Structure formats: C-alpha cells, structure tokens
Amino acid sequence: MTEYVLGIDPGFKGTGWAVVRKLDGRKPVVEASGVIRPERSLRRKGLAVPYLLLALNIQYKLSLEVHRFQPTKIVIEMPALWGRNAISLASAQRGDLFQLAMLVGVFSGDLHQCCGVVPVLRTAAEWKGQLSKEAIVKRIQRALGVSTALRDHEADAVGMCLNELDLL
C-alpha cells in the first residue's frame, strides 16, 4: 500500500511543507518539498498586510500540492508556548501565537474540505520532543538514506511526515 503524507510547518515568514511517499518495504521518498514565503509585494516595509491575506496566499500554494499528490495523511505543526523561552513569550505578547493558530485553522478546514483527509495537529514537542534541529536533520537523512540538506522549515515538514509514518 502506498501512503502519501503531507507535512506543514506553518509560519508567516515561511511555511515549510513536504510530501513523503511510503511504499511497503521500501525507504520513504520525499516527492516534493519547499518553503513558501509571502510574495514580495506582501512583505514590503510599512505595508500592513492582514494575516488572513498571507494565510490565503500560503493556502493557495499548498492546495496545488494537495491536488497534485492527493495525500492519505496530513500533519500540521500546531503552535505552542514554550514555557519561559524569551522568543516564545515575546511572540505571545505580539499575538503571533493566536495568528499562527488561525493560520493552522484555515489550513485544516481547507485541506479537509478539498481532499477529505482530517489533518492531524501536533505540537513540536509531540513529534520531535527535545531533539535539536541538527538531530532531526540527521534522523531524516538516515530514514531517507540521503545526505541532502533541507532548509529549516522544510526539514520540520519532512520530519513530521516521517514521524507520522513511525520512521523518525
């Protein structure tokens, strides 16, 4: 049986995504992956762009991949507050966690509607525990049998896919 898993690491500066194919008895293969960045016109300094507009931009690009691969599983990283982490606390004070949660909600509803798959939401702690980025990349490379370097958010998306397949 062939499984296609779509992993999404949402973010307003860059959303990582990956589609991993798994065939019984074979190593998984990354069919496609990347980082979706907001269009330059949406990132201009001084331009107050509503987060919903950015979410729709990302959602459109992801929907093209969903139609192309028809995933059997979808996993999305859910934003969470990391205790006393200064970056996490500053993000919460700015309202970024709320806005990222809204982004996840937009993705989840749209993806479920267009392909009939209910997305699984996982926090970073649920899918990778306390592992560092470097440790995740090494595990990804070992699971795939490759030494290819992945970009930050892209590596998280691939890692979520592999975790969902119990291969991380």
- Segments making up each domain of the chain, as ranges: 2-164
Which is more confidently placed, 30 or 12? 30
Q: Which residues contact 72 (CB under 8 A, 6 or more apart)?
A: 3, 4, 5, 117
Q: Do 9 and 100 contact (CB within 8 A), yes or no?
A: no
pLDDT of residue 36: 85
- DSSP 3-state assignment of 71? coil
pLDDT at 96 exceeding the cut of 90: no
- DSSP 3-state assignment of 62? helix
CATH of the domain spanning 2-164: 3.30.420.10
* pTM for this model (two decimals): 0.82
Residues 148-165: what's their mean pLDDT? 90
108-141 pLDDT per residue, tens: 676 767 778 888 889 888 999 888 888 999 999 9
Q: Do 20 and 158 contact (CB within 8 A), yes or no?
A: yes
CA distance 140 to 29: 11
- Read off the amino acid at residue 74: I
